[in-house]
Amino acid sequence: EDQVTQSPEALRLQEGESSSLNCSYTVSGLRGLFWYRQDPGKGPEFLFTLYSAGEEKEKERLKATLTKKESFLHITAPKPEDSATYLCAGADSSYKLIFGSGTRLLVRP
Amino acid sequence: DAGVIQSPRHEVTEMGQEVTLRCKPISGHNSLFWYRQTMMRGLELLIYFNNNVPIDDSGMPEDRFSAKMPNASFSTLKIQPSEPRDSAVYFCASRGQAPWDEQFFGPGTRLTVL
């Protein structure tokens, strides 16, 4: 069965303290690995898509990487406004997204 | 572009009542998805449409749930009769022409069934 697992469930960081979020996947025929950000009371907001192992993408303080088994979202020198839930999702062979349960990130000033 | 539009944003109803959730996808997008999000089960795909045709409804929990897409700019998700365990946030998302495009999510409808 296709599955996406995220860790940790929650992460507390001080402002400026860099860290990484993990997304492990077992999705047969993976068509892409998607990262979304979700703020309370809002819908998920698209961040990145990674299509092949070794690929990396960056946006401001965020960098996403992909291997054959997992993806990482690296957050460099985070700010309080980076606090949110980060969701990853694997696209299966029919491009349906299978979401992980998310990592709740809190960045304290 | 206004993005994906959902209504209502909040719905409180009593067990046994019919509930209809509405979605307007982004203009030009040809795929539409309905998701349900709960603390216990996370974000789950219920059904998706391509060019207004239902492609996969394997995530629809039971016969009480139904979805329609009468045209490219409108979709509904109906629950009849509603039960307390249906309480969740329901999201609609749309996607462009290419299947590898990202999905854009609406703001969601928070449903509470008493």
pLDDT by residue (tens digit) across A23-78?
999 998 899 999 999 999 999 999 999 999 999 999 999 999 999 999 999 999 99
All residues of chain A having their beta carbon less than 8 Å from the beta carbon of residue B29 are none
> Could you tell me the pLDDT band of residue A101, with boundaries at 50, 70 and 90?
very high
Task: Choose, out of B10, B29, B35, B43, the residue to mutate when testing the contact with A (most A CBs < 10 Å).
Answer: B43
Task: Choose, out of A6, A93, A97, A101, the residue to mutate when testing the contact with B (most B CBs < 10 Å).
Answer: A97
Spell out the long-range contacts of B22-28 with Cβ–Cβ below 8 A and sequence spacing 24 or more. Answer: B22/B74, B22/B75, B22/B76, B23/B74, B23/B75, B23/B76, B23/B77, B23/B92, B23/B106, B24/B73, B24/B74, B24/B75, B25/B72, B25/B73, B25/B75, B25/B92, B25/B94, B26/B1, B26/B94, B26/B104, B27/B1, B27/B73, B28/B96, B28/B97
Q: Is residue B70's pLDDT more than 80?
A: yes
Q: Once rounded to an integer, what is the mean pLDDT over residues A76-86?
A: 98
pLDDT reported for residue B1: 65
Is the CB of residue A54 less than 8 Å away from at least one CB of chain B? no
- What residue in A sits closest to B101 (Cα-Cα)? A49
Q: Once rounded to an integer, what is the mean pLDDT over residues B109-113?
A: 98
pLDDT reported for residue B13: 97
pLDDT reported for residue A77: 97
Chains A, B: CB contacts within 8 A come to: 45
Mean pLDDT, chain B, whole residue set: 96
All residues of chain B having their beta carbon less than 8 Å from the beta carbon of residue A51 are 100
**Beta bridge partner(s), residue A19:** A75
All residues of chain B having their beta carbon less than 8 Å from the beta carbon of residue A36 are 105
Q: How far is A17 from chain B (nearest CA, A)?
A: 28
Cβ separation A97–B103 shorter than 8 A:
yes
**Pairing verdict, β B42-50 and B103-105:** unpaired
Q: Once rounded to an integer, what is the mean pLDDT over residues B23-38?
A: 97
Cβ separation A31–B45 shorter than 8 A:
no
